Structure 1
Amino acid sequence: MLYVQQQPMIKKAERSGGGSSSWSRGIEEERLEIVDLSGMSLDSLPNPSLNLAIICKLDLSNNNLQNIPESLTARLVNLVVLDVHSNQLRRLPNSIGCLCKLKVLNVAGNMIQYLPKTIDNCKSLEELNANFNKLIQLPENIGLELRKLKKLSVNSNKLLFLPRSTSNLTSLKLLDARLNCLRSLPEDLEKLVSLETLNISQNFHFLRSLPCSLGLIFSLVELDISYNRITSLPPSIACLNKLQKLCVDGNPLMSPPLEVVEQGLYAVKGYLYQKMNSPSSSSESPSTKKKSWVGKLVKYKTFSNGGETKRSSSHEEREAFVMPDYKPIDTLASPRYMGIFSPRRLFSPRNYFTNYS
Structure 2
Amino acid sequence: MVDKLFRHKGHSHVPEFQSDEDAFMHMEKLLKKRGPNPLLLVLDDVWPHSEHFLDNFKFQIPGDKILVTSKSAFPRFGSSYELKPLSDEDAMTLFVHSALPTNRNSSFLDKSILNEIVNACRGNPLALTVVGRSLCEQPVAVWHDTFLELSKQGPVVEYNSALRNCLQQSLKLLKNNKATVKECFMDLGLFPEGQWIPATALIDLWVELYELDEDGVNSIAILRDLHALNLVNLEVRRTDANEIDGLYNDHFVMQHVLLRQLVNDESSLEPVEQRKRLIIEVSGNGFPNWGEEEEKPCVSARLLSITTEEILTPNLFDVQPPEVEVLVLNVFTKYCMLPEFMKKMEKLKALIITNYGFLPPEISNFLLLCSLPNLKSNTTIRLSSAMPNLLEISMDRCIDMKSLPIWFCDLVHLKKLSISSCWELSELPREIRKLVNLEVLRLRFCIQLAKLPETIGSLSKLRILDISDCASIMQLPNEIGDLYNLRKLYMKGSSISELPPSIANLNHLQNVMCDEETTTLWKPFLKNRTDLWIKAGQGGCIYLYYYFSLS
TM-score, normalization by structure 2: 0.39
Q: Report how many aligned residue pairs link the two structures.
A: 244
Cα distance in structure 2, aligned partners of 1:100 and 1:153: 26
1:118 aligns with 2:374: no
- Assess, with a 3 A threshold, how the Cα gap between structure 1 residues 35 and 74 changes in structure 2: closer, same or farther: closer
Task: Please tell me the residue identity of whatever aligns with 1:322.
Answer: T
Partner amino acid for 1:226?
K
Name 1:131's counterpart in structure 2.
396
Aligned partners of 2:417 and 2:501: how far apart in 1? 27
- Whether 1:203 and 2:476 are equivalent positions in the alignment is no
In structure 2, the residue matched to 1:322 is 530
C-alpha RMSD over aligned residues: 3.8
Q: Deviation per CA, 1:77-133, whole angstroms, max 9, x where unpaired?
A: 6533111123445323252584369xxxxxxxxxxxxxx761222212112111112
2:300 & 2:461 partners in 1: Cα distance? Answer: 32
Compared with structure 1, are the counterparts of its residues 208 and 247 closer, same or farther at alpha carbon in structure 2 (3 Å cutoff)?
A: same
* Structure 2 counterpart of 1:189: 456
1:155 aligns with 2:420: yes
Q: Please state if 1:219 is matched with 2:485.
A: yes
For residues 190 and 412 of structure 2, the distance between their equivalents in structure 1, rounded to whole angstroms, comes to 35
Q: CA deviation at 1:327?
A: 2.9
Structure with the higher fraction of residues in helix conformation: 2
Code of the residue aligned with 1:229 in structure 2: it is S
- Which position in structure 2 is the counterpart of 1:48? 318
Cα deviations across residues 293-350 of structure 1 (Å, max 9, x unaligned)? Answer: xxxxxxxxxxxxxxxxxxxxxxxxx4xx32143235x6xxx51x52xx253xx47xxx
Alpha-carbon contact 1:227-1:250 (below 8 Å) kept:
no
- Structure-2 change in CA distance of 1:355 and 1:72 (3 Å): closer
CA distance in structure 1 between the aligned counterparts of 2:506 and 2:301, rounded to whole angstroms:
45
> What displacement does 1:35 show?
2.6
Equivalent residues in 2 for 1:130-279 (5 A)? Answer: 130-134=395-399, 135-143=401-409, 145-157=410-422, 158-180=424-446, 181-204=448-471, 206-249=472-515, 260-261=520-521, 267-270=523-526
Question: What amino acid sits opposite 2:335 in the alignment?
Answer: N
Matched residue, 1:90: 361
The counterpart of 1:69, out of the listed 327, 337, 340, is 337
Question: Which amino acid counterpart does residue 60 of structure 1 have in structure 2?
Answer: L
What is the identity, as a one-letter code, of the residue corresponding to 1:49? Answer: V
Q: CA deviation at 1:33?
A: 5.9
**CA 1:327–1:34: 2 relative to 1, 3 Å:** farther
Alignment of 1:329-340 (within 5 A): 334-335=538-539, 337-338=540-541
The answer as to whether partners of 1:74 and 1:99 remain within 8 angstroms in 2 is no
Whole-angstrom distance in 2 between the partners of 1:250 and 1:117 = 45
C-alpha separation in 2, matches of 1:214 and 1:73: 47
In structure 2, relative to structure 1, the CA distance for the partners of 1:162 and 1:355 (3 Å cut) is closer
Q: More deviation in 75-84 or 195-204?
A: 75-84
Deviations 1:3-34 (A, max 9, x none): 9x99699xxxxxxxxxxxxxxxxxxxxx9963
2:469 and 2:403 mapped to 1: Cα distance? 17
State the Cα deviation string for residues 204-263 of structure 1 (Å, max 9, x = none). Answer: 1x2222111111111211111222222211111112122121123177x6xxxx6x44xx
Ranges of 4+ aligned residues in structure 1 off by more than 4 Å: 5-9, 352-356
Q: Distance in 2 between matches of 1:184 and 1:50?
A: 49
Shift in CA distance, 74/211, structure 1 to aligned 2, threshold 3 Å = farther
Match of 1:106 in 2: none
AA partner of residue 408 (structure 2): I
1:189 CA displacement: 1.6
CA contact (8 A) 1:73 1:93 kept: no
* AA of the residue aligned to 1:269: F
TM-score, scaled relative to structure 1: 0.57
Instruction: Select 2:349's aligned residue among 80, 84, 106.
Output: 80
What is the distance in 2 between the residues matched to 1:353 and 1:91?
Answer: 12
Aligned-partner SS, 1:162? coil
Higher gyration radius (CA): 2
Please give the alpha-carbon distance, in whole angstroms, between the structure 2 residues aligned to 1:8 and 1:233: 44
Q: Which stretch of the first structure deviates more once superposed, 63-72 or 164-173? A: 63-72
* Equivalent AA in structure 1 for residue 470 of structure 2: N
Matched, 1:35 2:303: yes
The one-letter amino acid of 2:320's match is L
Maintained 8 Å contact 1:170/1:193: yes
Contact 2:351 2:550 in 1 (8 A): no
Separation of aligned partners in 1, 2:367 and 2:504: 42
Indicate the structure with greater strand content: 2
Q: Per the alignment, do residues 91 and 207 of structure 1 end up closer, same or farther by CA in structure 2, a change over 3 Å counting? A: same
Corresponding residue number in structure 2 for 1:288? none
Rate the CA distance shift 1:100–1:201 in 2: closer, same or farther, 3 A: farther
- Does the 8 Å contact 1:245/1:327 carry over to 2? yes
CA distance in 2, matches of 1:50, 1:202: 46
SS in 1 for 2:326: strand
- Quickly say closer, same or farther: Cα 1:165–1:203, change in 2 above 3 A: same
Q: 1:64 to 1:178 in 2, by over 3 A?
A: same
Q: Aligned partners of 1:64 and 1:155: how far apart in 2? A: 21
Q: 1:199 to 1:7 in 2, by over 3 A?
A: closer
Structure 2 segments unaligned to the other structure (5+ residues)? 1-188, 192-205, 212-298, 373-379
* Partners of 1:44 and 1:65 within 8 A in 2: yes
